[in-house]
Structure 1
Amino acid sequence: MSLAQNVEFMRQFSKLSGFNGLGAYGRSASAVPSPLVEIGQFGTNPGALRMFSFVPEHLQRAPALVVVLHGCGQTAAGYDLGAGWSTLAKRYGFALLMPEQQASNNGNTCFNWFDPGDTTRGRGEAASIRQMIARMVVEHKIDSRRIYVTGLSAGGAMASAMLATYPDVFAGGAVIAGLPYGIASNVREALNGMMQSASRPARELGDLVRKASKHKGPWPKLSVWHGSADRTVNPANANEIVKQWLDVHGLPSAPMSTADVDGYPRDVWWNEEGETVVESYTITDMAHGTPLGLAGGSDESYGAAGAFMIEAGISSSYHIANFFGLTERVSQPNEVVKPDTKSVARPAPKPAAPVVPSAATASLQSPELAATLWPRTTLIRHAKPPRTPKRNNIDVGAVITRALTAAGLMK
């Protein structure tokens, strides 16, 4: 691409994304007190990212880790303030990792989700995030079967990249106003994907994920969120993301269930064991941003409204954490926990897949980690399920309950 084309791209890109008007949730958020702590050393850091984390005083036993990726123009602290992830982490006892882009890598502080040098396994920004995860696993005894990733916009597209390039690391992910993995390899293709979102065959999209690593499954589950009035990232991208991961999971294109949640349609697909593995929320008439549910002061109210943090009557952060199976309250010392009727009403999350330790599990680590960072770390790959599920082991009652709940016929 010529210099003139790059200049024109950046001019249009800034207009599209409104990166100059982020207020307290963009670059100025550095002045806002934050519970996040910066960690300086976590490996070779080939993507030159900054690492921030939040670990609550009271962690669950074998705690989970959620990796949260901010949008363009934002900071880790700013996005945490807006989306409320550290508040969720404190309430439910999981650890939080929030990588942060630097202006030296991208002038709008977008994660470079379209650059193969940053979205290939073992390279660039993707490798830096993987190294951050390795440090968190070792330092805080994270359960390697309970690692998740989510992000907004460019952060959502980068979450797609992390799920595709490291499917052996993540149990699940959530993409908010993002894009499918592998549809762009330069800035012009990225802009076209944002504006037009050309429809691609499901098999082609699925192959982009399958070719990103040597992993053969099981695959991470996925939650997709998008506003129907988004003028920055075409809402059709949500359909393409869903299509991509349905193909990876070998699931049909038609939703197995559709129901309203907090007034918005949610499509659901589950696997043969009855576990929801793909879900998609369409936030009607919402523009580009992360949906918040602040009105009413319910237990699902997290974050604070601001630029690209939009009050919509539904808390995406809470519902994503619930989709990950993280919303069981942690008891504090000398505290009597009142029953959470919202949590009780939901079916209990299905236990994580069993883990079979083997010598091959060391392949979870990138070459940089093996050479420079955690030589004694052994992270465990999800065990591969049998090709033919044993029907006599399926809890039929639980499957029926999940189906009725997803259809809105049971609370």
Structure 2
Amino acid sequence: MGIPAALGAAPAAAATATATATGGTYQQVSDFGSNPGNLAMYTYVPAGLPTGAPLVVALHGCGQSANDYYTGSGWPKYADAYRFAVVFPQTDPGNNPLSCFSWFDSSKDTRGNGEAASVVQMVSRAESLYGSDSRRVFVTGLSAGGGLTADLLADYPDVFAGGAVDSGLPAQCAGTQAAASGCQNGSQNLTPGQWGDKVRSSDPGYTGPWPRVAIWQGTADYTVRPVNGTELRDQWTDVWGIGRTPSTTRSLPGGTTLTTYDDGNGNPAVELYSVSGMGHGLAVAPGSGPDQCGTAGAYFLNTICSSYYTAQFWGLATPVSGSGLPAPSGLTVTGTTADSVSLSWNPVGGAASYEVYRGGTRAGTGAVTGTTYTDTGLTAGTPYDYTVAAVDSSGTVGARSAAVRATTSGRAPACYTTDNYHQTLAGRAHQSGGYTYANGSGQNMGLWNLLVTHTLEETSPGYYVIADSGCPA
């Protein structure tokens, strides 16, 4: 964050050469404007990206680089699957000793100034280079990057259609570095209206539409205390004028509770994801599944793929419009088991076949010739989002349907692999006398340090067992 005690990881080396991931290109872009914030610009662009695609800006945390976020966050996976470009801004120790974005400095995080202005220059350059749709530009960030994300949403609501603040701070919480610690560590005792005023005063005269905002917060975060998630919720629901009564509340993988606040049309405007037991970092879930992403490590915490759910919230998995046949109507979940979901939908005239998408990625390997489909090989107790599109005789895929969600029966095993220190920090274990013990089972995990690593499985809420030989244990 903005103070020396916050994050102490050494900055990783910045990427200087072109790299590829599943056919796309990751590289530095040097000529993006006057750059008053002294930032570096990196981009990831999927192979064959069409013009008019969305654009996502992803801001790293303290002690990290653009390359760290490109490698660990999972955003390139969904750029490939959903077809959008990603900008990865990077700061360095010359701006801040811990390579933190300056979310707390009013000379750098306000409209037209410093780092905020540099990021918007990157957006303009990416729109020019890749033909990105200026109506579908989104920004997300971790920790100090999350703080700057909130500031950018307040400063430039005319630029960003949505945002996601991961383990971050409310917009314009602090105006100086001296005030940053207070924001990180406790409530500012402001009313929702006062929080909302900080957004409204960031771009005076702007009246909307406002960005849609996702908020990710761990309940065991001792670097950016959980109250910041609550204050972000208060701030953006006030800006939207929708109050703090949840429209829906539901459980997601990784001990995550999602609380949604809808706008006047019944569409989600603000979402708060509270991850039980998670410490300070970005929620990831390594794996090859459509709702799995990222690489676990320092400040990339194996809980749930936040990038997947954020992309769904922003609507990136469903194109604004399709070519060819219209979207099928009546997509319905007709049945679930522990490892399968059955679907049906209404026929589309002229359709030769259909394609079913799970989380934006095509499910199965062949064309579906009827109007029913059963998706198999799924994980128990896990929610999945589905859409369907009609395909004409020439092979042109039409518009995708509205999404439906299905949750398989049973309970999904939740497993976490990291060192004993971080298991304790995340609230899955505790230490006594220099040794680490799994919460619930009390199993001895060895010395409380960064050198001993175990896999813990949560077999019931708050009850963990050692599962080094495989999960489920």
Asked whether the two chains share a fold, i.e. TM above 0.5, the reply is yes
Match of 2:213 among 198, 211, 222: 222
Q: Distance between the aligned counterparts of 2:386 and 2:356, measured in 1? A: 15
| 1:341-380 to 2 correspondences below 5 Å | 341-343=358-360, 346=385
Tell whether the 8 Å contact from 1:16 to 1:231 is kept in structure 2 after alignment.
no
Cross-structure match for 1:185: 175
| CA drift at 1:41 | 0.9
SS at match of 1:282: strand
Cross-structure match for 1:368: none
Q: Distance between the aligned counterparts of 2:207 and 2:122, measured in 1? A: 24
Cross-structure match for 1:264: 256
Q: Would you say 1:277 and 2:294 are equivalent positions?
A: no
SS at match of 2:4: helix
Cross-structure match for 2:357: 340
| 1:286-297 to 2 correspondences below 5 Å | 286-294=278-286, 297=288
In structure 2, relative to structure 1, the CA distance for the partners of 1:293 and 1:337 (3 Å cut) is: farther
Q: Distance between the aligned counterparts of 1:126 and 1:342, measured in 2? A: 32
Residues 125-154 of structure 1 show CA distances to partners (whole Å, capped at 9, x for unaligned) of 111111111111122111111000000000
| CA drift at 1:228 | 0.3
Q: Would you say 1:82 and 2:99 are equivalent positions?
A: no
Match of 1:51 among 25, 41, 58: 41
Residues 14-68 of structure 1 show CA distances to partners (whole Å, capped at 9, x for unaligned) of 3332334xxxxx4146599844211111111111111111111122451000000
SS at match of 1:16: coil
Match of 1:298 among 289, 293, 302: 289
In structure 2, relative to structure 1, the CA distance for the partners of 1:304 and 1:119 (3 Å cut) is: same
Q: Distance between the aligned counterparts of 1:347 and 1:186, measured in 2? A: 45
In structure 2, relative to structure 1, the CA distance for the partners of 1:120 and 1:104 (3 Å cut) is: same
SS at match of 1:207: helix
Cross-structure match for 1:113: 103
SS at match of 1:170: coil
Tell whether the 8 Å contact from 1:177 to 1:227 is kept in structure 2 after alignment.
yes
Aligned length: 334
Tell whether the 8 Å contact from 1:269 to 1:279 is kept in structure 2 after alignment.
yes
Q: Which stretch shows the higher mean deviation, 268-277 or 154-163?
A: 268-277
What one-letter code is carried by the residue in structure 2 that aligns with 1:223?
Answer: A
Cross-structure match for 2:139: 149
Q: Distance between the aligned counterparts of 2:17 and 2:274, measured in 1? A: 31
| CA drift at 1:338 | 6.2
Match of 1:96 among 57, 82, 86: 86
SS at match of 1:14: coil
Tell whether the 8 Å contact from 1:80 to 1:303 is kept in structure 2 after alignment.
no
Tell whether the 8 Å contact from 1:67 to 1:96 is kept in structure 2 after alignment.
yes
Q: Distance between the aligned counterparts of 1:227 and 1:138, measured in 2? A: 37
Cross-structure match for 2:12: 27
In structure 2, relative to structure 1, the CA distance for the partners of 1:106 and 1:144 (3 Å cut) is: same
Q: Would you say 1:73 and 2:63 are equivalent positions?
A: yes
Tell whether the 8 Å contact from 2:74 to 2:284 is kept in structure 1 after alignment.
no
SS at match of 2:9: coil
Residues 180-222 of structure 1 show CA distances to partners (whole Å, capped at 9, x for unaligned) of 0112111121011111132311111101100111311010000
Q: Distance between the aligned counterparts of 1:224 and 1:310, measured in 2? A: 16
Q: Distance between the aligned counterparts of 2:188 and 2:36, measured in 1? A: 32
SS at match of 1:87: helix
Q: Distance between the aligned counterparts of 1:125 and 1:264, measured in 2? A: 32
Stretches of structure 2 that go unaligned for 5 or more consecutive residues are: 21-25, 323-352, 364-383, 388-401, 410-473
| CA drift at 1:112 | 0.4
| CA drift at 1:80 | 1.4
In structure 2, relative to structure 1, the CA distance for the partners of 1:199 and 1:19 (3 Å cut) is: farther
Cross-structure match for 2:243: 252
Tell whether the 8 Å contact from 2:17 to 2:27 is kept in structure 1 after alignment.
no
Tell whether the 8 Å contact from 2:256 to 2:275 is kept in structure 1 after alignment.
yes
Q: Distance between the aligned counterparts of 1:33 and 1:308, measured in 2? A: 25
Cross-structure match for 1:353: none
Identity %: 37
Taking CA–CA contacts closer than 8 Å with sequence separation of 6 or more, which of the two structures ends up with the larger relative contact order?
Answer: 1
In structure 2, relative to structure 1, the CA distance for the partners of 1:273 and 1:80 (3 Å cut) is: same
SS at match of 2:215: strand
Q: Distance between the aligned counterparts of 1:325 and 1:107, measured in 2? A: 37
Cross-structure match for 1:393: none
SS at match of 2:5: helix
Tell whether the 8 Å contact from 1:199 to 1:240 is kept in structure 2 after alignment.
no
Q: Distance between the aligned counterparts of 1:342 and 1:141, measured in 2? A: 25
Tell whether the 8 Å contact from 2:290 to 2:358 is kept in structure 1 after alignment.
no
| CA drift at 1:167 | 0.3
Cross-structure match for 1:315: 305
What one-letter code is carried by the residue in structure 2 that aligns with 1:209?
Answer: V
| CA drift at 1:294 | 2.1
Q: Distance between the aligned counterparts of 2:298 and 2:18, measured in 1? A: 18
| CA drift at 1:305 | 0.7
Q: Distance between the aligned counterparts of 1:82 and 1:62, measured in 2? A: 27
Q: Distance between the aligned counterparts of 2:159 and 2:130, measured in 1? A: 16
Cross-structure match for 2:121: 131
Q: Distance between the aligned counterparts of 1:204 and 1:405, measured in 2? A: 39
Q: Distance between the aligned counterparts of 2:218 and 2:16, measured in 1? A: 29
Tell whether the 8 Å contact from 1:34 to 1:81 is kept in structure 2 after alignment.
no
Give TM-score scaled by structure 2 length.
Answer: 0.66
CA RMSD in angstroms comes to 2.8
In terms of fraction of residues, the more strand-rich structure is 2
Q: Distance between the aligned counterparts of 2:14 and 2:32, measured in 1? A: 24
